[in-house]
A and B are shown apart, each in its own frame.
Chain A
């Protein structure tokens, strides 16, 4: 039987800037079961990283603030806890891998010192035990000659190795939830394949739950069990991975899938989504996708649709999902 590890409910994280209030995350809800991988996709600025930062309570404040919602982890609402307790959970029960490994590794310390620090803090190991476990972790993530590498500084490693060190650090305490924000975006496909395989193995071994954030639809297809598609701070579609690619019901999801070239080769022109994402302060009043949607009609501009459960566990935020035949790009089913 599956059981829910994390439940995010109606999360709202806003940034109060000189120009106005940016609703970076605006009413986002999802669950993550034990051992499950949730993928979050969306274009730049859609609110993926702010969602992750909110769970970890790493939103810079000011200007940011979590203004509403619940983040229920096991049986506690993280938003009600004291910072001291949050720090304890962070890195121990929930850990995070960031997009740019260089900004999250300290250049002054060896990688062994950095992994050991986490282990000593959270698991109370002594110095020697921590070093030994660090070497184990480096070996596990596929760093060659870990006994030597453990004494090196981050700049002595390649980008792929640094990302693996980040993963080793994130997994050092066997977290129940791993949040990976674009963990492979800066890496070559060959290294990306290594890292994704590694994440898969770790999930099989420890039943870790994973939230994987990426804009790469290929990566999501490969590792996620279910997917949330974000646009303008909202989830516009959410369902299991197979259904999302086979039967997308939201015009934005369908547009994203159609706009990528296929590795098996494809005939003719690509089919881009028209226009660009608006400035965060200037989204349309109704459906936030209206200015780029081929199917927008009067109602779409006037009023924003709710996220509706269209089939069991398949949620769509679109007025017209029922009548549109997105596969054949026609307005009637």
Chain B
């Protein structure tokens, strides 16, 4: 049996919308709306989907940086949304996050050594000489010279800042890292450097990654399995090659076809989706993709399709998967 480090059951995060004179809750943003998936120890699970589909919110609820509205997230069998303060703190050591914007996520008034060393203080892991030594080791691990330790974030390029963010996440020796668009803001040549670094660190330290990105080529490269989200739900989840080569959901198929291929002689037929993503405040009935789906029929408006196996370890939620062949 696969060793699941994370098990996610019916996870929901709804942000309340208050209105009227009494500021009562009048509605909610269904940012994450019933996720079920597992993450295997040592794997990279990619999470993709259009802007606003709930990727970042999912990442934050997995780490309990946000409280869940419903459902559970089990880390090694324990539901992290039921932990008390003390247990939560030790859990924070096991699960870390890297953010998209290497500029905004580092405190401009702290030196690199202070930034990378801060988690060691918070978790009482090292002091004095030992801490200095550990910081040097961490910088070395991410390919930064320790002569940079006394400098401030503004003195670094985007790629170097992302390395600092990675060193900070690694400081507490975590098991799981949620990477939220870690390379999206970087130039392509630098992107490749950071991706290679993250792969090396995973091999070396046995890390588990949840890798959020909207660049599907990057996700295919780094992931073992990939989950596709649409309006707060996972619509397809499979081994990356199965998902990219034989998608079982019309949305995945359209998303893949829309990617521009960097080869002028191999241009493909595109499926152009009509319109925009509907609002997560009042998502469409039945299958939430029916307003844009080229295969939709009446039943799609009424009945929500079950997220189920359509092939070996290949899950998807669609009434008409057969039509895709």
Stretch among B27-35, B120-128, B271-279 lining the A interface: B271-279
Contact of A260 among B188, B256, B257, B270 (CB under 8 A): B188
A-B contact count (CB 8 A): 128
Q: Is B263 among interface residues, defined by CB-CB distance under 8 A? A: yes
B275 CB contacts on chain A under 8 angstroms: 144
Q: Is B221 among interface residues, defined by CB-CB distance under 8 A? A: yes
Q: Indicate whether A190 sits within 8 Å of B256 (C-beta atoms), given known contacts A197-B270, A259-B191, A276-B160.
A: no
Q: Is B15 among interface residues, defined by CB-CB distance under 8 A? A: no
A271–B160 CA distance with the chains assembled, in angstroms: 18
Cβ contact within 8 Å between A276 and B221? no
Number of interface residues of A (CB under 8 A): 47
Q: Which residue of A lies closest to B267 (CB)?
A: A222
* Chain A 52-69 near chain B by CB (<8 Å), digits 1 or 0: 000000000000000000
A271–B195 CA distance with the chains assembled, in angstroms: 10
Cβ contact within 8 Å between B244 and A263? yes
Within 8 A of B (CB), among A254-304: 255-257, 259-266, 269-274, 276-277
Q: Which residue of B lies closest to A191 (CB)?
A: B276
Contact of B263 among A196, A221, A272 (CB under 8 A): A221
Q: Is A123 among interface residues, defined by CB-CB distance under 8 A? A: no
A19–B187 CA distance with the chains assembled, in angstroms: 25
A218–B217 CA distance with the chains assembled, in angstroms: 11
* Chain B 250-262 near chain A by CB (<8 Å), digits 1 or 0: 0000111111111
Q: Indicate whether A265 sits within 8 Å of B272 (C-beta atoms), given known contacts A218-B261, A255-B189, A270-B195.
A: no
Cβ contact within 8 Å between B214 and A270? no
What's the least CB distance linking B248 to chain A, in Å? 18
Cβ contact within 8 Å between B217 and A260? yes
A238–B188 CA distance with the chains assembled, in angstroms: 19
What's the least CB distance linking A65 to chain B, in Å? 27
Stretch among A91-99, A128-136, A173-181, A240-248 lining the B interface: A240-248
Cβ contact within 8 Å between B220 and A261? yes
Cβ contact within 8 Å between A215 and B189? no
Cβ contact within 8 Å between A222 and B260? yes
B256 CB contacts on chain A under 8 angstroms: 263
Cβ contact within 8 Å between B192 and A190? no
Q: Is A217 among interface residues, defined by CB-CB distance under 8 A? A: yes
A217 CB contacts on chain B under 8 angstroms: 188, 262
A219–B262 CA distance with the chains assembled, in angstroms: 7
Q: Indicate whether A241 sits within 8 Å of B216 (C-beta atoms), given known contacts A218-B259, A272-B192.
A: no
Interface of B is mostly: helix
Q: Which residue of A lies closest to B186 (CB)?
A: A44
Cβ contact within 8 Å between A190 and B196? no
Number of interface residues of B (CB under 8 A): 44
A260–B262 CA distance with the chains assembled, in angstroms: 9
Q: Indicate whether A192 sits within 8 Å of B260 (C-beta atoms), given known contacts A263-B217, A269-B199, A271-B192.
A: yes
Q: Is B321 among interface residues, defined by CB-CB distance under 8 A? A: no
Q: Which residue of A lies closest to B160 (CB)?
A: A276
A256–B265 CA distance with the chains assembled, in angstroms: 18
Q: Is A160 among interface residues, defined by CB-CB distance under 8 A? A: yes
Cβ contact within 8 Å between B254 and A190? yes
Q: Is A21 among interface residues, defined by CB-CB distance under 8 A? A: no
Q: Which residue of A lies closest to B221 (CB)?
A: A261
Contact of A272 among B189, B218, B220 (CB under 8 A): B189
Contact of A259 among B192, B244, B265 (CB under 8 A): B192
A83 CB contacts on chain B under 8 angstroms: none
What's the least CB distance linking A239 to chain B, in Å? 12
A25–B30 CA distance with the chains assembled, in angstroms: 47
Within 8 A of B (CB), among A227-256: 241-242, 245-246, 255-256
Cβ contact within 8 Å between B255 and A272? no
Q: Is A111 among interface residues, defined by CB-CB distance under 8 A? A: no
Q: Is A205 among interface residues, defined by CB-CB distance under 8 A? A: no
A193 CB contacts on chain B under 8 angstroms: 257-258, 260, 270, 272-273
Contact of A192 among B191, B192, B258 (CB under 8 A): B258
B264 CB contacts on chain A under 8 angstroms: 221-222, 241-242, 245
* Chain A 190-223 near chain B by CB (<8 Å), digits 1 or 0: 1111101100000000000000000111111110
A262–B256 CA distance with the chains assembled, in angstroms: 12
A263–B240 CA distance with the chains assembled, in angstroms: 11
Q: Which residue of B lies closest to A246 (CB)?
A: B265
B187 CB contacts on chain A under 8 angstroms: 43-44, 215, 277
B110 CB contacts on chain A under 8 angstroms: none
A219 CB contacts on chain B under 8 angstroms: 260
Q: Indicate whether A160 sits within 8 Å of B276 (C-beta atoms), given known contacts A217-B188, A260-B262.
A: yes
Task: Determine which residue in A159, A261, A266 has the highest number of CB atoms from chain B within 10 A of its CB, and name it.
Answer: A261
- Give residues in A with beta carbon < 8 Å to B: 43-44, 144, 158-161, 188-194, 196-197, 215-222, 241-242, 245-246, 255-257, 259-266, 269-274, 276-277
A sample of 15 inter-chain contacts (CB < 8 A) reads A188-B50, A190-B258, A190-B272, A192-B258, A197-B272, A221-B264, A222-B267, A242-B265, A245-B262, A246-B265, A260-B262, A269-B199, A270-B221, A273-B189, A274-B193
- Give residues in B with beta carbon < 8 Å to A: 50-51, 157-160, 187-193, 195-196, 199, 214, 216-218, 220-221, 240-241, 244, 254-265, 267, 270, 272-273, 275-277
By Cβ-Cβ distance, the 8 closest A-B pairs, closest first, are A218-B260, A272-B192, A261-B221, A273-B189, A270-B192, A193-B258, A259-B192, A217-B262
If A189-B50, A245-B262, A245-B265 are given as contacts, then 13 extra A-B residue pairs at C-beta distance below 8 Å, sorted by A number, are A189-B259, A189-B260, A190-B50, A197-B272, A217-B188, A241-B264, A242-B264, A259-B191, A261-B218, A262-B221, A263-B256, A270-B221, A272-B193
